[in-house]
Amino acid sequence: MKAKKTISNIFTTVIILLSLVLLTIGLLPKVTSYDGYYVTSDSMYPAIRKGDLVFTKEVAFEDVEVGDVLTFTREGSEKWFSHRVVRIKESEKAFRTKGDNNNVEDPGYTPYDAVVGRVEKKMPLIGFLPMMLATTWGKVVLVLVYVLYIAVEVENAASKKRKKG
C-alpha cells in the first residue's frame, strides 16, 4: 500500500510542477510586457545556454546599445535568434549582431523592424519543456504523464472504496 501512496505522491508532485511551469510560460507574457522564447543553440554560451527561456521586452531603436542582446528574425526565416549587438548603423536603423560563442559576426545587418525586443531576463533550463512540447513525441509524453496520473488516482480511489466496502 505504501508503494501506491509513494507513486501517487510522485505523480502529484510532477503534475503540479509541470502545470506550474506550463502556466508560467503561457501566462507570463500575457500578464507582463515580456515575450518568451526558448533557446535552441549554444551560440550565446555562456551568457545564455541551450534550453534557457529568455524574456524580451520591446525596445525603441534609440534605446538599443552595443552589448545589448536582441531577439530577432531574419528575412525568409521562421527562426528566432538572440544575439549581441556589436555595431549600430543609425542611418539605416539596423544592427550588426554576433553570438558570444560564434567565431564570426552574423551576416549583414539586422533591420530594426525584424527585432522582437531586448532580452531582459532568462530562466535557465526551463526552455527545454516548450522545446520538447514542440515535438510530436513531447506531446505524446505529456499526454501519457497526465493519463498515468489519472489512472493512478482512479486506482487509489477504487482501492480505498474496496477497503471500506
Of the residues 8, 41, 43, 68, which is catalytic?
43
Amino acid of residue 71: T
DSSP state letters, 103-161: SSPPSSPEEGGGEEEEEEEEETTTTHHHHHHTSHHHHHHHHHHHHHHHHHHHHHHHHHH
Of the residues 91, 106, 113, 159, which is catalytic?
106
Bridge partners of residue 52, in order along the sequence: none
The H or E element spanning position 69 is strand 69-73
Give me the phi and psi of 7, to 5 degrees please: -60, -45
Q: Is 106 designated active site?
A: yes
Q: Is 42 designated active site?
A: no
Residue where the block lists cell 554576433 = 98
Q: Is 77 designated active site?
A: no
Residue where the block lists cell 509541470 = 18
Of the residues 83, 91, 100, 113, which is catalytic?
83
Q: Catalytic residue numbers?
A: 43, 83, 106
